[in-house]
Amino acid sequence: MMRNSQVGYNCIYNLLHIKFNEDFGRDGKFSYDLQYPSFYAFKNTYFKVNPSILSQLNSTIKANVNDFKEGTLKEEEDIDRKFNIMSCYAVTFNKNYVLSSILTLKGFVENEGLLYNQLNNFNIDLNNGKTIYLRDIFKENVDYITLITNYVNYKISQNRDLYYENYDLYIPEDQAFYITDDGVVIYFELDEIAPKDLGVPKFKMSFERFAPYINPRFFCSPQNINPLNARHFKYYLR
């Protein structure tokens, strides 16, 4: 792979206030500690975003948390054992009108340990509120499906014994992922390609390593980040 850390692209930070929310308590044998974010734009700054975009995102995240809580609460009634659930989150990319955030939802049952380990992603184009897909991460005319498939299969081959045998892995267009400052992380559901004990399988494709194929909008190195001047900032809509 070619390496290229010099990207001719001016990056800016998204000026967003990230509010910490927490819902915790106990109901009989059911206990919960659910943490999740809400996003708001600052007023009177160069960074402009339609409030309805952030409102919709906040509602979606909160719904994810509430659905998990209500669903596991109903299940706890049948288990008749102590059931504890939790959530945590991270904002993994927040530049160039792109927001990528993840929400981890876990459930533990007394004497059984981890029962649920779910990772949800929220990859949003703040220009229009649309979801960002894997195809958007790469330049036009790049066969990103083959590129990702080959890379993930290569990484699996390095630790073949950790994964299920005879699993025919091919990356679909709606493959789960999230964006970080230095790459795109491809991940799979618990027990999908490897035993549950391995956790959520993740594979990072480094922006530096795959630079010739990456849409510059997502490649922000410390050398090309401009936190203040947005007048000359040009962003891609694809």
Integer Cα distance of 2 and 4 in angstroms: 7
What was the pLDDT predicted at 152?
Answer: 96
Question: Given this model, what pLDDT does residue 29 score?
Answer: 87
Strand order in the sheet with 177-180: 177-180, 183-187, 202-206
Give the pLDDT confidence of 18-41 residue by residue, as tens digits. Answer: 999 999 999 888 999 999 999 999
Alpha-carbon gap, residue 235 to 13, rounded angstroms: 12
Residue with tokens 């993930």: 152
The pLDDT of residue 6: 35
| Angle, CA 223 vertex, CA 221 and CA 227 arms, to 5° | 90
For the chain, the C-alpha Rg in angstroms (whole number) is 20
Q: Which residues of the chain have pLDDT under 70?
A: 1-9, 221-238
| pLDDT for position 197 | 87
